[in-house]
Chain A
Amino acid sequence: MMRNKIFFLFFFQLIFWGCSERMDLELNDSYARLVVEATLTDQANQQVVRLTKTAPYFTEQPSSGVENALVTLRDEENAWLLEQLGPGEYITPDGFRIKSGKTYHLEIDHNGILYEAFSKTPAAVPIDSLGFRPHPWLSDHYEMIIHFQEPGETRNFYKWKIYHNEKLLTNIPNKMPFSDDEALNGRYISAPIYIFQPEDGIPQPGDTIRTEMYSITEGYFDFMIAMRRYQGATGGPFTGPPANIPSNFSNGALGFFLTAGVSQQSLVLE
């Protein structure tokens, strides 16, 4: 809750009080690289690995899918070949499920180049209950409170997906709260994780709020931090020089391969 909350909320947004207007900017283009989006959990059945390419920064086209790649998923014993579902979409076999504690290996063979990544699946951590209350100092804002026992024996990293009446509010990574357990290790946690903004519609009595808590890897945590850090503004005296968002793939592919244990909890508001 710490690292990201304090640092990002206050030290980048606080100083954002300039005026702005659209500007035209010419940017150089770089060569196209493979981008992999692969988050596999111990929950759902069939899950999708998405392959796209990098594009010029100001392109108006959505990224096109990479076709005819060979996508293989392995654990210590087995191997599964993922079937191509649509352009750039490769689906895990029916009945396949990630197991916590196991290390998985994702291999992508595209145009004769091999890209690979590994992920050791952190176990899901159960959530006891959720709470809902007004934000202490932002008017008309509300907070979601989470109560759970943080496991003491392991280093843990989390991200949360938040739903309001089954509508996903954290629909992009940068809206998703995430945290490590530094300073919290082994504690019983009762803390706010999400702020409901008035413009998204504040949950009313009778509404359901729900969260999915992903146990993520340390590498993915760093990946989330970098995505948030280099989103948006550059060139100001406070932003510092941007750097590329790290990836766990070999051979210069971007994106991330994560296997995660997921727990969930919901609350019907009174």
Chain B
Amino acid sequence: MVFSCPGLVAEEKGRALLRGLVTDASSTESLPGASIFVREAGRGTTTDVEGRFQLYLPEGNHQVEVSYVGYQTQVLHVDLKNQAFITVTLSRGNLELSEVVVEDHRSGAHVERTEMGVVRLPSQTIRQIPAMMGEVDLIRSIQLLPGVQSVGEGSTGFNVRGGGMDQNLILMDQATVYNASHLMGFFSVFNNDVVKDINLYKGNIPAEHGGRLSSLLDVRIREGDMQTYRASGGIGTISSRLMLEGPIVQDRVSFIAAGRRSYADLFLPLASDPNIQGHKLFFYDLNTKINARLDDKNRFQLSSYMGQDVFRFGQQDPFTISWGNSTHSLRWNRIMRDDWLLNVTLLYTGYDYSLKQEGAGTNFIWDAGNKDIGLKTDFGWFPNENNTIKFGFSSLFHEFNPGIFRGIDDDSMYDAFGSTGSNALSHALFASNEQKVNDRWALEYGLRFSAFQSMGPSTVYNFDEQYNYIDSTEFGRGEIYNTWWGFEPRAGLRYTLNAQSSVKASYNRTLQYLHLASYSDGGNPLDIWVPSSKMVKPQIGNQYSVGYFRNLELNQSIVESSVEVFYKSMDNQIDFKDNAWLMLNPKIEGEFRFGQAWAYGAEFLLRKNEGRFHGWISYTWSRAERQIEEINNGNPYPASYDRTHNLSLVTNYELSPRITLSATWVYTTGAPVTLPSGRFEYGGQINPVYTERNDYRLPDYHRLDLGMSIRSREKPDRNFRSEWNISLYNAYYRKNTWMIDFRSNEDQKGQVDAYNVYLFPILPSVTYNFYF
């Protein structure tokens, strides 16, 4: 269904505000992105992330059409005087079909929205993509979208439009996730069973969010069924999952709880080697959420996530490495009289890791991490039908522990060393407006003011201009010793050419006050976040983009097409000096080197959301380069995530109501890599000599994944449903280079051979899911 642009400006005699909430009829979960349309007035809107909408209409009788793909459209008759609030419940269409037909909430909507560089994926779409090792992963799905790529084979780290992996802001129900990966990055922390939907902003980051240069990945967790108890789960190759949901108070309060645990190590006790029996190697996730609707106007949500990876070696005196995130948010939504909305969110988020050796004498523990506690408040105001104003503030307290190494008890032979850490405050004020100027023009503009204050207790190390350590300064508890601040304007405009096409442009300025100290671009659990300081300036990003959006028609269904072009410049970018030491190093700032980076590219997308055969083709051409005085002799060099060509083909075919086939093919230019230009012998071993940074490329990457999902036959007298998902990762066994390894030839002394190290052969997997 496609709207034509409002043709007539309705008579503005008596104007009234219609507001409401759209929910799923059975679970009463809110439906974000549902569409509301009043035909005779020629007015329409979509629900926000909380499932709410507001629409100005002339007073009088209206037929309001509310639709959401996969659901039956509802038509309501509303007699509107001054103001009204309605709750609209939508029933799922054919249950089977809704599992199959997957949509970007409403086909063709991308032409009308002002925002660009934004991608939405409902969790159903994510579920249909063939899964690596049977683990459905939302980050792996967004890597198939234009402008987004994986940091490496199998990794859930991602780069957006030539930005670093640490330049993505990842939110789970509003709380920042600092390290979104499990098992060295092969799986993300998001359990798809509880993910409601995700929004990825590649540009056009709303003014209410900030703190990272390149993107915002906003993940929303489901709220739970308010009417019936349900359970679902799955048994896979890597992990098992179980999810429970239901009402605590019918129609008022619901809960959802979901857990996942990997179990490779559960088989270890079967090993004959008693040492291996004691090993542990697993990760788990636990999501819980309570959603309380006090009345039509007040709602509370308490959302929590906890997860951890544990690697333990040995039984007596074991060595353990563990790391994990925990995020908690308490959110209050209030719909106020007189066109106002209020959201208040209390946030806590933390990431930490530890390495621990037990045993007499040699015991030690090394732990590090960071924590945020804060408050965010924002208001929505709808003064008239053409403006949607949002404003608010946020304030966070940060605690950084870059790592302390110490003996566990007095017997330990180790003294403590490392860094004592620091604290900080970050604040932001923001305001934005979505303004419909006329039938053709729409604007979205906002301004964010952000500030970052370093706070004691802390020891600050001072360096000269050559990065030589001079001395240190002590700051007491609560003392503020450095402040950075800046304005971040954001603007976008849309010009509608006709009902089927529009042109959009946007400008985005972003500031980043936290920086990831990582040896690699792929992320590692031992990476730490380093706050801006006197020496480390905030990163600054400026992004310009222009796009053309058009809906095409193919066999009576809509194909969305778009072309977006972007240019991004990034200042105060950080790299590390040669042979930098980033762990347990109190003088870590002396290892930083500063410079600039830039990226540009063009993104093409063709996407068909409807019909038995659906999917998308995405192609990105882009460049990402960096220049840092002390690196590569000051010459520009390609960023390690610079991939010229990036193509993804995602297809789904509904063979029968019970069987769906899917296939995904990806192709990218090989990653830049630094390879030796010579060698020298020392102590009987061969050592490399390098000249230029990233002057070679790994071979091109391509891969085909296939998937099939078979659902159980629907039985009217039974609630139980199940499905089998079978997938084949890397179906034609491409030996994609993960890294190049140089090994001394065993037979020919003094000769070195290069080896292509690839991670995955053909990887078949089977997952069984059930619902009741």
Contacts and interface: CB of A to CB of B under 8 A. Distances in A.
Contact of A242 (B415, B688, B749): B688
B346 to A, nearest CB: 36
A27 B677 contact: yes
Contacts of B751: 58-60
Interface in B178-193: 184-185
Looking at A184, A187, A191, A242, which has the most chain B CB atoms within 10 Å of its CB? A242
Nearest to A6: B355
A54 B678 contact: yes
A30 B685 CA distance: 19
A249 B758 CA distance: 38
Contacts of B355: 6, 10
Interface stretch (B310-318, B464-472, B504-512, B597-605): B310-318
Given A19-B758, A55-B678, A191-B413, A241 B689 contact: no
Contacts of B278: 137
Contact of A240 (B366, B521, B743): B521
Nearest to A141: B275
Given A136-B314, A244-B689, A235 B673 contact: yes
Nearest to B314: A137
Contact of B578 (A136, A189, A237, A243): A243
Nearest to B640: A241
A225 B684 CA distance: 16
Contact of B752 (A19, A32, A57, A254): A57
B748 A60 contact: yes
Given A235-B737, A235-B740, A59 B679 contact: yes
Q: Say whether chain A's binding surface is mostly helix, strand, loop, or mixed.
A: loop
B681 A52 contact: yes
B755 A22 contact: yes
Nearest to A222: B579
Contact of B151 (A185, A237, A244): A237
A231 B687 contact: yes
B698 interface: yes
Contacts of A227: 682, 685, 687
A30 B756 contact: no
Contacts of B526: 11
A173 B685 contact: yes
Interface size class of A (residues with CB under 8 A): 35 or more
B678 A57 contact: yes
B710 interface: no
Interface string A181-202: 0111101111110000000000
Interface string A234-256: 11111111111110000000111
Given A30-B689, A57-B677, A188-B413, A237 B520 contact: yes
A129 interface: no
B677 A235 contact: no
Interface in B420-438: none
Contacts of B717: none
Given A18-B757, A225-B579, A27 B524 contact: no
Given A183-B417, A233-B741, A242 B521 contact: no
Contacts of A190: 361, 413
Contacts of B735: 19, 21
B317 A136 contact: yes
B478 interface: no
Interface string A215-238: 000000010011101111111111
Interface in A149-173: 171-173
Given A189-B413, A231-B687, A246-B579, A139 B275 contact: yes
A214 to B, nearest CB: 12
Contact of A184 (B316, B415, B521): B415
Contacts of B753: 22
Nearest to A10: B321
Contacts of A237: 151-153, 155, 157, 185, 520-523, 738
A171 B682 CA distance: 11
A62 B750 CA distance: 6
Contact of B359 (A11, A14, A136): A136
A226 B689 CA distance: 12
B413 A255 contact: no
Contact of A29 (B155, B414, B677): B677
Contact of B683 (A18, A30, A37): A37
B482 to A, nearest CB: 28
Interface in B681-707: 681-685, 687-691, 693-696, 698
A239 B302 CA distance: 40
A242 B690 contact: yes
A185 to B, nearest CB: 7
Contacts of B313: 137
A113 interface: no
Contacts of A230: 687-688
A56 interface: yes
Given A21-B756, A174-B685, A234 B678 contact: no
Given A229-B579, A232-B742, A236-B757, A60 B750 contact: yes
Given A21-B755, A238-B520, A54 B684 contact: no
Nearest to B580: A243
B676 interface: yes
Looking at B313, B698, B757, which has the most chain A CB atoms within 10 Å of its CB? B757
A238 B679 contact: no
Interface string A56-82: 111111110000000000000000000
B294 interface: no
A11 B311 CA distance: 12
Given A137-B318, A191-B362, A243-B579, A57 B688 contact: yes
B267 interface: no
A102 interface: no
B579 A172 contact: no
B588 interface: no
B499 interface: no
B182 to A, nearest CB: 13
A137 B680 contact: no
A187 B413 contact: yes
6 contacts: A190-B413, A233-B742, A237-B155, A237-B520, A237-B523, A240-B519
Given A18-B758, A183-B417, A231-B688, 17 more contacts: A21-B756, A35-B682, A56-B679, A60-B748, A60-B750, A63-B680, A63-B681, A172-B683, A182-B417, A183-B405, A183-B414, A184-B413, A227-B682, A237-B155, A243-B690, A254-B682, A255-B680
Q: Which 6 A-B pairs have the closest CB atoms?
A: A237-B522, A137-B314, A236-B739, A243-B578, A237-B152, A240-B519
